[in-house]
Chain A
Amino acid sequence: MADLNVSVVSAAQEVWSGRAKQIVARTVEGEIGILPGHEPMLAILGVGEVRVTTEDGATVRANAEDGFLSVEHDTVTIVARNAELIS
């Protein structure tokens, strides 16, 4: 199965980018999980963290408030005014 191409960007800079197997994010309507092959989507993010499971199985967690999420052709962009990684 193909991978997802993920980038997390904040207003000032690109916070993280890389390839991932799965993404779990919280939109205003509830949690959503995204796997490769997901249909194109634009969603407004709610309060909560975004979890990215990378290719090698590690988990990257990021705080992304006040933003949105777009999915198309296995490219996922998480855009938030203030986004930062939680280490």
Chain B
Amino acid sequence: MEFHAVICCGKGVNLNPLSKVKETGIAKALLPIGNKPMIEYVLEWCDQGQFREITVVTDSESNEDIGKVVESYSIKTRTENSQLSTIKMNIFDGDSTGEILELFENDPSEFILLPCDFITDLPPQVLIEQYRNRESDDIAMTVHYLNQFESIDKKSLTHYYTVYSEDCHLLDIHSKDSVELSKALELRAQMVWRYPISKVSTKLLDSFIYFISNDALQIIKRELPDYRLKSATKILRDLGRRSWKHSDQKNGISLFVLPNECSFVRSDNIPAYMEANRYIMKLRAKAQQQPPQAKEKGAATVGADSVVGENTLLGERTSVKKTVVGKNCKVGKRCRLTGCVLLDNITLEDDVVLENCIIGQNAIIHNKARLTNCNIEGSYTVAKGSQIKGETLTNLFIEGESASDSEDSEDNSDGYDSYEDDFEDDFEDDGLFER
């Protein structure tokens, strides 16, 4: 396999308050989906593809934690299958994903940039074949998908105007925010001349799965001097623009839209994270087929589409439906949990009712609390008898809002704000029009 998979573990700004943005959170890559750190899904996916090399890129803060998980994953799977390459860890504390490319400047292989937060039933071979069958002068491929989960609120997804040609080449990307801000979607006349039929989709979502050939890497290095400051998405967009804004046609970027038959979800925001959990639960329920053995009377009931982690105690007459309960939790009597995600070490006292909630680790919820559609930060304590709907509860001490300078700009819609400015610059700088 000629590919080198690079998994980028971001901070998870949009997963606030669960992610490492908060002191009490866990690194995004380690947030469990169906009681398994999400990065494991990505690693499993990679192993299906048998890549030549896999590198996990993390920031220094969470490097150790993620390292451990990766290591235990390796021990679990690698021992039986010696063909698989080892997984390398790489620390990276830069501000933009573009800088990650710099780390691999001297590596002659083709890259696949992956996010740490996707789950799909689409085997990597499909993408690899798609990439291999690209047109001969295409140098990179981006993968886009349509949101299939209706329950994920549209507002929480980052929307783009994705401009692509009739023959599926990425031409341009505009973020909705910047368009909204400037009240205009600017399409270059030049582009329309080069690609007389260009489609613009408002629904396509960026998967952050990018195939980048070595040629592309060379071009990025040569022609985009400031690529280190840009996010990978932006670099790809610039390559897309490069294909039409020059007097002669340059290498294109192919764009692949995942077929509707496959499922794909990125847990890069809270609703999507919930949905990913439910999706995994559903898959498990299907796989199990036979219902779990009948329990003795009065014992807690756990639905087929729920998972309860190790060392977790469930009190009498507690019912758990469509819910993931983490490890080492204590759930009191007569609790009802529906459609929730509970991380590890959580204590629920008696008669707690949770619906569509996400509870961070070490949280404590006292007697008779009733929460609906809430996000609770780790270590938070919910008072006795609280009745709360649709709120995000965070600990009171105020953290320096370090969110804005997050490394992970695929989560960071701010990444596009400076867009309009540098658009003009792009056109002035390339010197192509001074014939």
Whether both chains belong to one complex is answered with: no
